[in-house]
Structure formats: structure tokens, C-alpha cells
């Protein structure tokens, strides 16, 4: 994944960026990770959330390509 995408995913998890997907699973994941991070705002927690988000994108990369591009361009 591109560096800009990683940065934007971090910003998304921290709630500094907003993104509304047409994919319900992605929206639920974003919401859950934002709540998880806000409960314990540490760099380790952010790293864990980012790893989970990347794993989701890797697992569903065939259907997440456009979503990744959209988030990268935020």
C-alpha cells in the first residue's frame, strides 16, 4: 500500500478524515476501529487498528481497489 494511503487510513481511524463508503462492511470496520482507538489513544493502539484495516483491504483487494484509491485521494 502506498504511504499516502497509510497516512490517510491513520487519519481516518483517528477521526480526522471522514469517508463514507458504499460498502457496508468497510463503514462498519471504520466505525469500530474509530471507537477502539478513541478508547485508548496510544500509538500501539493506532498501529493495531491500522494493521487490521490493511488486513481487511488485503483480504478483499478485488473489491476494495476503488475504495483504497478514494481514501488515498482524500
Q: What is the rounded distance in angstroms from the CA atom of residue 61 to the CA atom of residue 63? A: 5
pTM listed for this prediction: 0.90
- Chain segment 33-69, per-residue pLDDT in tens: 999 999 989 999 999 999 999 999 999 999 999 999 9
Range of the domain at 47: 3-72
Average pLDDT of the residues of the chain = 93
- Number of structural domains, the chain? 1
* Long-range contact set of residues 12-16: C-beta below 8 Å, sequence gap at least 24: 12/53, 12/71, 12/74, 13/37, 13/46, 13/49, 13/50, 13/53, 14/41, 14/46
Amino acid at each position: 500500500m502506498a504511504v499516502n494511503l497509510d497516512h490517510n487510513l491513520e487519519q481516518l481511524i483517528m477521526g480526522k478524515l471522514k469517508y463514507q463508503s458504499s460498502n457496508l462492511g468497510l463503514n462498519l470496520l471504520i466505525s469500530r476501529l474509530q471507537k477502539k482507538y478513541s478508547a485508548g489513544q496510544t500509538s500501539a493502539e493506532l498501529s493495531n487498528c491500522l494493521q487490521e484495516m490493511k488486513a481487511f483491504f488485503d483480504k478483499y483487494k478485488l473489491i476494495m481497489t476503488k475504495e483504497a484509491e478514494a481514501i488515498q485521494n482524500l
